[in-house]
């Protein structure tokens, strides 16, 4: 598996922190408190994107990381809007670097599969930016396994490789188990997985009448709107009480305990929200507890759909 290393040789932390909420639900003061807590907990991998909060996420993160730049892994993403020219992708990256005050980022993602532009052209751009010293690791977000391997073939032909992917993965979103995580384990690709708490569903707050993304954003409401997902979220606190641990801690630790060793990307609006996720860094997930948590949700069918061979 690709081991991310900072400019001064510091290895990437087991978990990452996602700055998606910086500049919106988390103002700069709240962002600084969370950033400092992450640093104190040993987190060295920080993730953002060109489109997050209209650029405020990158701007705030850039100010926060500046004093520690060389010992941190900084990742951003371009191309969410599926532009049809390489020049547009390059311009987005230049904007991201300017916002963060950085000549280079460590990890550069294509934010999602773009059918409007030949994949060869997109991977060639990443390789060019890598050769120019403007990024060190090439990455893909929200790509299917076949798309990753197609990109990897192109990258190999250019003398480089895809080092990281960023899929969704949590107890109620387990599709990555079918092909993406096995692919990562086989091909030595790091999976930096997002939404380990299912948009907050797995914290248990919605069962108590709380608010958040699922109640404020119709996209998240649809993403996590199936009844069995909410039933799993309602059952999780019962297990958490048995082990005297916050449901969020268990949900994050469950993601990290997958055999492919994904790196969960934590995110929050405040330190109070973030702390249970940070606690998962030191939580010892036993095989028995992992099996008990896994049983809360349906296991996705194998890629071949030959379910009988997995019984």
User: CB–CB of 47/267 below 8 Å?
Assistant: no
CATH number for the domain spanning 133: value is 3.20.20.100
- pLDDT for 208 beyond 90: no
Burial letters for 162-190: b for 16+ Cβ neighbours within 10 Å, e otherwise? bbbbbbbbbbbbbebbbbbbbbbbebebb
Residue 106 lies in a domain: yes
> How many domains, in total, are found in the chain?
1
Does an H or E element contain 138, and which?
strand 135-141
- pLDDT for 1 beyond 80: no
**Bridge partners of residue 46, in order along the sequence:** 17, 74
Residue 67 lies in a domain: yes
Task: Print the domain residue range for 157.
Answer: 16-310
Residue 41 lies in a domain: yes
pLDDT in tens, 279-296: 999 999 999 999 999 999
pLDDT classification of 311: cutoffs 50, 70, 90: low
Residue 57 lies in a domain: yes
pLDDT in tens, 234-244: 999 999 999 99
pLDDT in tens, 102-111: 999 999 999 9
Residue 103 lies in a domain: yes
Residue 224 lies in a domain: yes
Across the range 185-200, mean pLDDT stands at: 97
Q: How far apart are CA 35 and CA 29, in angstroms?
A: 10
- pLDDT for 63 beyond 80: yes
pLDDT in tens, 125-182: 999 999 999 999 999 999 999 999 999 999 999 999 999 999 999 999 999 999 999 9
CA-nearest of 228, 227, 229, 246 to 237 is 246
CA-nearest of 281, 38, 1 to 137 is 1
Three-state DSSP state, 221: helix
Residue 7 lies in a domain: no
Residue 213 lies in a domain: yes
**Bridge partners of residue 292, in order along the sequence:** none
């Amino acid at each position: 598996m690709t081991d991310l290393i900072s400019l001064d040789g510091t290895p990437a932390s087991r978990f990452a922190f996602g700055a998606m909420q910086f500049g919106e639900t988390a103002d700069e003061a709240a962002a600084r408190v969370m950033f400092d807590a992450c640093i104190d907990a040993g987190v060295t991998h920080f993730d953002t994107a060109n489109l997050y909060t209209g650029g405020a996420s990158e701007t705030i993160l850039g100010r926060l990381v500046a004093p520690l730049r060389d010992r941190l892994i900084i990742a951003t993403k371009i191309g969410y809007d599926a532009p049809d020219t390489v020049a547009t992708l390059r311009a987005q990256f230049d904007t991201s670097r300017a916002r963060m005050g950085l000549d280079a980022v460590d990890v550069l993602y294509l934010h999602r599969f773009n059918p409007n532009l030949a994949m060869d052209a997109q991977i060639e751009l990443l390789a060019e930016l890598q050769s120019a010293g403007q990024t060190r690791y090439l990455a893909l977000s929200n790509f299917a396994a076949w798309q990753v391997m197609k990109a990897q073939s192109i990258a190999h032909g250019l003398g480089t490789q895809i080092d990281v992917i960023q899929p969704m993965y949590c107890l109620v979103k387990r599709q990555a188990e079918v092909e993406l995580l096995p692919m990562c384990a086989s091909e030595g690709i790091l999976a930096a997985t997002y939404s380990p708490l299912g948009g907050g569903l797995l914290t248990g707050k919605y069962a108590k009448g709380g608010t958040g993304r699922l109640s404020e954003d119709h996209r998240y409401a649809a993403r996590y709107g199936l009844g069995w997902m909410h039933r799993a979220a309602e059952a999780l606190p019962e297990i958490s009480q048995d082990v005297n641990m916050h449901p969020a801690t268990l949900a994050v630790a469950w993601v990290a305990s997958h055999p492919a060793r994904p790196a969960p990307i934590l995110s929050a609006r405040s330190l109070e929200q973030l702390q249970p996720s940070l606690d998962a860094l030191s939580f010892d997930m036993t095989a028995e507890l992992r099996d008990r948590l896994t049983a809360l949700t349906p296991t996705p069918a194998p890629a071949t759909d030959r379910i009988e061979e997995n019984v």
